[in-house]
A and B are shown apart, each in its own frame.
Chain A
């Protein structure tokens, strides 16, 4: 027997979300969306619980999670960093900014720092091309970011 363990409150959250959607298979995407909203990410155990509630194979849940780039199986940091790699940001040097974040944090895109403070992601266009290159830390937007500014941005959120 395989045992999947999760904190009681997490299981309760997931059961509540699934119930809210009538445990309908057709609601899988909405359920995953809400679950990620509450838990930050969708690890294996979470997918197993959702599969059980909806009575669908977990392979199908995993298929949906891996199909949509919005869903993630890795946890986000306390301060999730997103570097815009849209066309405008890219041509104005977003890649060098991203490289600087990678270097300073010692992690790759999609990863989280061991202390759980920062996670790093890239995304495509936040609709603020006039401020390119753009970096988001949590809800906060930074415009015209240079590699030199990265240290200051991180310091602002550290600790």
Chain B
């Protein structure tokens, strides 16, 4: 009803749904109008991401059909607009019979192995079959037979696809990656990369937003839970874990807690209960990232201000692996501008295997580094060759927030009543700057806090940079560094990132520093997080949880982290130094396409 209340009378349309008077704004669909009035018309393919102004309306599933008086045929409620005086019935026997037939037809080309499906218990189709009390599928015949495909991040089991095309919409409209499209016809029809090649040979960035919206088990994450259980059970292995900032702000949702409940302490206790030898924090590595990335920014700025015309500006953040994949594929001509700093996940891995292992007296081959990430691209990132030493990855594998929640449930841990635990030291020590890495604008704010002090040499009193916070798609701001106007840009969602990058490529805008996160909202809306169903209120609540945690930290500037200071003193030397360069920086690869004459 929120559509109706604030509108003046003349701009509303009045109609009846199930004999109830409803008033809505022009252009409202019957489905939206009904839901606003508390009538829950079922849907499968429909999806509305209001805050991005993007909706998925292929009207392909037909489960939302309703009766409209005066029309011969049933109408799909999702894509039929309300009209003045319309009389709609959503619950007639005709409608219910049609819905049942529609679902039976969908199920006639869908496997019925629900018991062992990764989406079991969290599947819209399964829920719909239960709701409509489907007890048999009367239509028998040919079924789709696509080959199941596995990539480092995403599993595609397209026999389970119901052609809702939400994934295609996320991939093309929101992310502008264009890896997925509807291809073929009939039983060969599927959603696939061009030429039906594997995801790994397409432009896919592994952002996982397709997985986040898939209503069924067609797209799921490459689940490493069993690998972790095997390692935890192996007495010869030392298994340590790092947790990304955004995980703590969303994990609670999987246990029925309201969005925005910060569960940091309980998460640490749960991980300890699972049997990890050390529970560390990616926030530590986020602080380390700021040291390197912030120093790189200041170095490039100093050279730029000295009149060096060759210096690559703006500097782009490089924490987000899906973003790295995106620019390697789509902006290979600009590989010199991203920061060469590795992501926090990889910095953590490099320090854990090259420094902590030695300090703790653990051999590299006996050390297993696991990460808990809000992200599916992180699974791919830790498998990249440049992050391995003699074939051994710095981070062995990565589990998503959802996988961790599943594991905690399996382990008979009563999450709600867990006491708050503390991260282990030294790699669990972090500042508020590390915590906010999980929200769009957070990396930039963390960098500004450090860059400001290092550049001006003065203490920064107010560490809150409000202008870089919030869910606006592209944010632009100017920050005063003691007379120098630092121009910054921030984008979240790869579609917004593309818009910003094209501005830079065409030199339409001048920036010194840019932060990009691939997922809408930043990591808090990552492809591995509890499903937010496009509800930005949830994203905002998660961001608030991170900023609250930041505000409560004794130190909120990365360069004040005592364990980071010690790490540089005892091991790394100085930021951008030789050792730091070797362990904490990386290079990028041209994954674009070139068309050549033969």
Contacts and interface: CB of A to CB of B under 8 A. Distances in A.
A63 to B, nearest CB: 4
Interface in B195-243: 195, 202-203
Interface stretch (A42-50, A86-94, A118-126, A145-153): A42-50
Interface stretch (B145-153, B430-438, B585-593): B585-593
Contacts of B184: 66-67
A52 B172 contact: no
B597 A60 contact: no
A59 B202 contact: yes
A137 interface: no
Interface stretch (B173-181, B253-261, B399-407, B562-570): B173-181
B182 interface: yes
A62 interface: yes
Contact of A7 (B182, B192, B597): B597
A5 B598 contact: yes
Contact of A58 (B177, B194, B594, B598): B194
Given A57-B203, A59-B178, A5 B597 contact: yes
A49 to B, nearest CB: 6
Given A1-B332, A47-B194, A60 B181 contact: yes
Q: Which of A1, A3, A48, A66 has the most CB of B within 10 A?
A: A66
Contact of B195 (A3, A57, A62): A62
A4 interface: yes
A8 interface: yes
Contacts of B177: 57
A39 interface: no
A57 B203 CA distance: 9
Contact of B181 (A7, A49, A62): A62
A108 to B, nearest CB: 16
A57 B591 contact: no
Given A59-B179, A62-B181, A44 B595 contact: no
Contacts of B172: 57, 60
A63 B590 CA distance: 26
A59 B181 contact: yes
Which of B192, B592, B595, B597 has the most chain A CB within a 10 Å cutoff? B595
A144 B595 CA distance: 48
A47 B194 CA distance: 10
B593 A44 contact: no
Contacts, number: 79
Contacts of B195: 44, 62
A6 interface: yes
**Interface residue tally of chain B, by bracket?**
20 to 34
A66 B183 contact: yes
Nearest to B178: A57
Nearest to A4: B595
A66 B178 CA distance: 17
B596 interface: yes
Nearest to A73: B195
B181 A57 contact: yes
Contact of A1 (B185, B192, B593): B593
B598 A8 contact: yes
A26 to B, nearest CB: 16
A60 B332 contact: no
Contact of B596 (A3, A56, A61, A67): A3
A105 interface: no
B484 to A, nearest CB: 38
B442 interface: no
Contact of B595 (A48, A66, A69): A48
B591 A1 contact: yes
Contacts of A109: none
Nearest to B201: A2
Contact of A4 (B202, B203, B591, B593): B593
A107 interface: no
A3 B177 CA distance: 19
B393 interface: no
B441 interface: no
Nearest to A53: B595
A11 interface: yes
B153 to A, nearest CB: 18
Given A1-B590, A44-B195, A47-B194, A63 B182 contact: yes
Nearest to B328: A1
17 contacts: A1-B332, A1-B590, A1-B592, A1-B593, A2-B591, A2-B592, A3-B594, A5-B595, A6-B595, A48-B595, A56-B178, A57-B194, A58-B194, A59-B193, A60-B172, A62-B195, A67-B185
Given A59-B194, A60-B181, A62-B194, 13 more contacts: A1-B332, A1-B594, A3-B595, A5-B598, A6-B598, A49-B595, A56-B178, A57-B181, A59-B202, A60-B172, A60-B178, A66-B184, A66-B185
Q: Which 4 A-B pairs have the closest CB atoms?
A: A57-B178, A59-B181, A63-B181, A59-B194
